Structure 1
Amino acid sequence: MEIETLEELDDHLDSDGSLRGLRLQDLDLTTYGDRLASHGDLTGLVVLGGVVPVAVAELLLTRGAILFPGVADAPVDPWRGLYFPSDLYADIERGYPATPDALAYDWFVDARLRTDAYCTLVRAIHDDSVTDELDEFVQGRSVVGIMGGHALQRDSHAYAGAAGLGHALAQEGHLVATGGGPGAMEAANLGALCRSAEAVQEALGRIAGVPGFRPDVTSWATTALAAREVVVGDEPQLPSETLGPSARSLGIPTWFYGHEPPNVFCDVIAKYFSNAIREEGLLARSNAGIVVLDGAAGTVQEIFQAVTPLYYAPEGSPLPPLVLVGRAHWTETVPVWSALQALAAGRPMSEVIHLVDSVEEVLPLLAPHP
């Protein structure tokens, strides 16, 4: 049983229940020494991160608990879970290299640390914490994944189309999930975050002056943060566990592609060190379907990763639709469609793969909202 708030811990301690098997995650235990001591043997209790003063730590260890301390020299808190855009872009006024997002990438690619056992453990714990909270965040939601390339410019017609698609999906009650990066991913997240078509158009106008993240991530991010502030207004930031049912826009990026900064038009961001876990997590959670916009190598990889479970699915299994948008792109520029058709021949997946000309054709092809 995981306990992630002090309120939950208070309730459990008041119930005089056993502490064996409990996981106390990222809690401030400064004032809990006496209450924990009253339970005697603490064997089987695991404390993950948080604030644990020396006296409390000694109590835990001598009574048989397992204690995983926080990590003082890493730029991330491995126990925290999901991020808000303001977390990753803190200190952006000093330039993108000063932000927690950039510092985490620098730490990730540091050759001295890449194979260090301690750092490997920290990254694994971090990604597991993200997955744990992400599962809770999407529970019960109809999720549509939107894939697409990072090179799409903000001032392009295709970018506006992707934003319109994201908005239409969110208006239908879907949670729009992307790879969380720039380009088509940012456009879809922007559209989903906006509560009206007018707000989408206004946001597009505000960010068009900085069309891409190259060569200046700082200007790209700053412009977007200002536009996001207008979109969300002065609403208080809700905890992710409260926000989940009303969220419209989710980003799942990775520090593996550190040259692609995360976009800020997400309700929350599930950022991973492991790209493999990130990609599988995004595809597996897209239970209402996957929409693929123009892209190159990374997008092609995601297409075939999505196709594999469709290909091997047994007869009668419910399959989420896979919709490729852009007939010329997927039959001529990057001729993936013919391969998909060959794989689908005679299999149930043939009924759920689609090739369309425009984003306007996508919605009727997706799984209906429950």
Structure 2
Amino acid sequence: MATGNPEGKKSPPEEQRLGPVLRRRSQVQTTTTDQRLLDGRAPSDWVHTDPWRVLRIQSEFIEGFGALAELPPAISVFGSARTPLDSPEYETGVRLGRGLVEAGFAVVTGGGPGAMEAANKGACEAEGVSVGLGIELPFEQGLNSYVDIGLNFRYFFVRKLMFVKYSQGFVVLPGGLGTLDELFEALTLVQTQKITQFPIVLFGTGYWGGLVDWLHGTVIAQGKAADKDLLLFHVTDDVDEAVALVSKEAGR
């Protein structure tokens, strides 16, 4: 007489291997990956799980690498999205974008309005390669009309990698928290020698002077950084000098 399981159903195993994943005891799954994939009645919340996000992240890397792999030598320009169209800062951005193209560079920005649009405009009007790397935000801005190659990213860290991987240097116009984020990310990568021969130019002594004074008078004075770290970047008020600095240090 049969005992145990009268319906012939197998009990869940104590240990289950799903590819590289090991599950034991209460974490053993009663269905297979193929079964869940092919079951049209299954819940759809899996598209919001971490494994699915990994695929989305992977796709962003692939799209970015594919779109930018053949980009000529480029300089990324950062600055505030709030820079007014009729301001001297906007005109500086236009001149900078134009000057970088004339020096043989493509121009990469965050693709938004303000200072980013200005640099893209200068590059576009100089008939150079104008790139915009946008980001999905609650207050959607879209890519400005001067972008020739544009990508929109979901994830900041993927976007940041593209800025560094496909740029030979940064020029940083006056900007806010996002600009500061990109600036200190680059400074950290250079300081830790994750990237080498990477010029960083801060444009606007009046805007950046207080930050430089704080780094010297507080951060370095308290031993949190070294004097040599101030050599990781240059500060200027001259467009031609900014272009010359990135050109020289980028080996152009």
Query: What is the deviation of 1:134?
Result: 3.0
Code of the aligned partner of 1:153: P
SS of equivalent to 2:134: coil
C-alpha distance 257-149 of structure 1, shift in aligned 2 (>3 A): farther
CA deviation profile, 1:177-220 (whole Å, cap 9, x unmatched): 11111110010001001137xxxxxxxxxxxxxxxxxxxxxxxx
Instruction: Quote the Cα distance in structure 1 between the aligned partners of 2:137 and 2:120.
Output: 20
1:132/1:276 CA distance change after superposition, 3 Å: same
Match of 2:131 among 243, 247, 250: 250
Secondary structure class of the residue paired with 2:206: helix
Tell me whether 119-128 or 145-154 shows the greater mean CA deviation. Answer: 119-128
Is the 8 Å Cα contact of residues 130 and 272 (structure 1) preserved in structure 2?
no
Letter in 2 for 1:195: A
CA contact (8 A) 1:145 1:178 kept: yes
Select the structure that is richer in strand: 2
**CA distance, structure 2, for counterparts of residue 263 and residue 113 of structure 1:** 34
**Aligned residue for 1:307?**
187
CA deviations over 1:1-28 (Å, ceiling 9, x no partner): xxxxxxxxxxxxxxxxxxxxxxxxxxxx
TM-score by length of 2: 0.69
Give the match for residue 325 of structure 1.
203
Tell me if 1:172 matches 2:103: yes
Normalised TM-score (structure 1): 0.49
Contact 1:319 1:352 in 2 (8 A): no
Would you say the 8 A contact 1:143–1:175 is kept in 2? yes
Deviation per residue, 1:281-301 (Å, 9 max, x gap): 2123221x2100010111111
In structure 2, the partner of 1:366 is 246
Q: Report what 1:267 is aligned to.
A: 148
Contact 1:150 1:260 in 2 (8 A): no
Choose from 266, 283, 293 the match for 2:173.
Answer: 293
SS at match of 2:188: helix
Runs of 4+ in 1 over 6 A off after TM superposition: none
Q: Percent identity?
A: 27
Aligned length: 201
Distance change in 2, residues 1:307/1:114 (3 Å): farther
- In the alignment, the residues of structure 2 paired with residue 281 and residue 257 of structure 1 have an alpha-carbon distance, to the nearest angstrom, of 22
1:67-216 maps to which residues of 2 (within 5 A)? Answer: 115-116=48-49, 120=53, 123-138=56-71, 141-195=72-126
- Please list the CA deviations of residues 333-358 of structure 1 after superposition, one character each: whole Å capped at 9, or x if unmatched: xx2564278376354x5444111124
For 2:237 and 2:46, locate their aligned partners in 1 and report how far apart those are by CA, in whole Å.
46
1:132 to 1:363, Cα distance in 2 relative to 1, 3 A: closer
Distance 2:201 2:49 in 1: 41
Change (3 A) 1:166 1:114: farther
Asked if 2 retains the 8 angstrom alpha-carbon contact of 1:144 and 1:290, the reply is: yes
Shift of 1:114: 8.3
SS in 1 for 2:184: helix
Q: Which runs of 5+ in 1 are unaligned?
A: 1-111, 197-246
Deviation at 1:361, TM superposition (A): 2.6
